[in-house]
Amino acid sequence: MKPAQGGAGARQRQRRRLAGLLAGLAALLVLGLAGLSLGSRSVPPGESLAAFWAFDPGNDLHLIVRGLRVPRTLLAMLAGAALGVAGALMQAITRNPLAEPGLLGINAGAAVAVLIGVTAFGLDRVEQYVWFGFAGAGLAGVAVFVLGRAQESGTDPVRLVLAGAGLSVVLGSLTGIILLNAPAEVYETFRHWGAGAVEGRGFGVLVALGLALLLGGAIAQVLAPGLNALALGRDLGQMLGVRPEVSWALACLAIMLLAGAATAAAGPIGLIGLVAPHLARLVTGPDYRWIVPYAALSGAALLLLADVLGRIVAPPAEIAAGIVAALLGGPFFIMAVRRFRLARP
């Protein structure tokens, strides 16, 4: 009787996960249509769709949709998905529910590296930023894990968050020093990028970010069964055939690709990587084979929602998606800290 009940429960969970995935995709499509239609100049939804099925080069609304809104919407989706998967990986390998690229200094490392690329090497295109973003994210991640001794005590949220906060302060100070001594045009370029904006990017950025998301997401999905085993503890994971060092190295590579590319393309955006995996777990439970795709979907929807809200809250001006994401994610972070009891008794 019990096995039959267990089988029924598994089928029910599977149906719930598939239903949640379909509902999430439908919500993302609705947000995508809103992203194409809303802005300083509104475009009727039917006209937005007509820009694809019956494109008229003489129609300025079609030109706005295809030339400006499509790359902006896709960038928000891809960057949000990358940050969501990166956050899920970080929470898995550190066994820390508060881990995410922004809180642990990964985004700040990518930001400093991009700024160095702009000031020292004269880079002026986002496609060129990506490589510096990769390097900065990777170095910052290694620094936080070493300072926080995450490999030894990843379950200690205090040590990791403090290490990340300390590194973020140092990198933020370094960013300020470089900016204060940089030419005015560098400041203007970085000011727009540093707010976490997704507008004004070309399709070349989407290609670079899409490739990073594809590779990093594939690594995360391959690692997912091993992450489930390591969630039971390092020793038990090894008994189940998982090699923690290999999982750590591959996960760090994926995080570097995902967070580095997202930050280089859209600027430093925090809290998406924290919120998306928790939203995923509400539907999927603790199985990382499902958390990874759900975190990608949740992250894409969250950042796109932040971008759409940023366009309509103070028209005709716009608020950068990174600022809106921080405003939305701040209360969630406080709730997470209280729920997981960050402070030790």
**Is 321 in contact with 303 (CB distance < 8 Å)?**
yes
Q: Which residue has the tokens 């494109």?
A: 55
pLDDT tens readout for residues 84-112:
999 999 888 877 787 777 777 777 888 88
CB 234: neighbour CB atoms within 10 A?
A: 15
What domains, with CATH codes, occur in the chain?
Answer: 17-338 (1.10.3470.10)
Write down the pLDDT at residue 159: 72
d(CA 260, CA 195): 16
Q: With 80 as the cut, is the pLDDT of residue 5 above it?
A: no
| Cis, bond preceding 183 (omega within 30 deg of 0) | no
Q: With 60 as the cut, is the pLDDT of residue 303 above it?
A: yes
Write down the pLDDT at residue 79: 93
Torsional sign, CA 304, 82, 288, 214: positive
pLDDT tens readout for residues 20-62:
888 889 999 999 999 898 887 888 888 888 888 888 888 888 8
Percent of the chain with pLDDT over 90: 18
> 67, exposed or middle or buried, with CB in 10 Å at 0-12, 13-18, 19+?
middle
Mean pLDDT of 320-327: 85
Higher pLDDT, 82 or 146: 82
Q: With 60 as the cut, is the pLDDT of residue 2 above it?
A: no
Write down the pLDDT at residue 3: 47
pLDDT tens readout for residues 269-299:
878 888 899 888 888 888 899 999 999 999 9
pLDDT tens readout for residues 168-224:
888 888 888 887 887 777 777 777 777 777 877 777 788 888 998 999 999 999 999
Residues whose CB is less than 8 angstroms from the CB of residue 121 and which lie 6 or more positions away in sequence, other chains included? none
**Is 99 in contact with 91 (CB distance < 8 Å)?**
yes
pLDDT tens readout for residues 106-161:
778 888 888 888 888 877 776 677 778 778 877 887 787 777 665 555 455 567 77
For residue 97, the one-letter residue type is P
Write down the pLDDT at residue 345: 37
Average model confidence (pLDDT) across the chain: 81
**Is 254 in contact with 223 (CB distance < 8 Å)?**
yes
Write down the pLDDT at residue 343: 45
